[in-house]
A = this chain, B = another copy of it.
Amino acid sequence: MGHIMSGTTSPDLAARLRSAGLRPTRQRVALARTLFEREHRHVTAESLHAEAKAARNQVSLATVYNTLNQFRDAGLLREVVVAPGRSYFDTNTGHHHHFYVETDGELHDFPSDKVTIAGLPAPPKGTKLARVDVIVRVRR
């Protein structure tokens, strides 16, 4: 498990992108690598762009935005909106919720399997449930 490939392209990631309907271009594979070949993480467009640059992966900011949106649409990422003006993208797409440390903008996942939510009202007429997000806001 988790044997991280070095120099050469990662066939697993290419396949994963392809089966999501996305051509495995150099930049998409590079971004996918930093996103998925390690522990779950949260990024912003800016932070991912900076990381790519630091790793000597030439990717424009526009492409980072495009890629994050495409990955989100393909279900490879989940967008988390907790604070005005910035979007986080979470590589954990499974069921889970979030701690948000308001004082410093940190975001942490926690599993939802031990969490029970009872007594929710029925969705408004004509709508169907998409997801229930729980955001636990804390301060330092």
Contact = CB atoms under 8 A, between A and B. Distances in A.
The main secondary structure of chain A at its interface with chain B is: strand
Contacts of A121: 110, 114
12 contacts: A99-B127, A102-B130, A116-B116, A120-B134, A123-B136, A126-B140, A128-B139, A130-B137, A131-B136, A132-B134, A132-B135, A132-B137
Interface residues of A, number: 37
Interface in A100-129: 101-102, 108, 110, 114-121, 123-124, 126-129
Given A84-B87, A115-B120, A134 B137 contact: no
Copies of chain A in the complex: 2
Interface stretch (A4-12, A15-23, A49-57, A75-83): A75-83
Given A79-B84, A81-B82, A127 B138 contact: yes
A37 interface: no
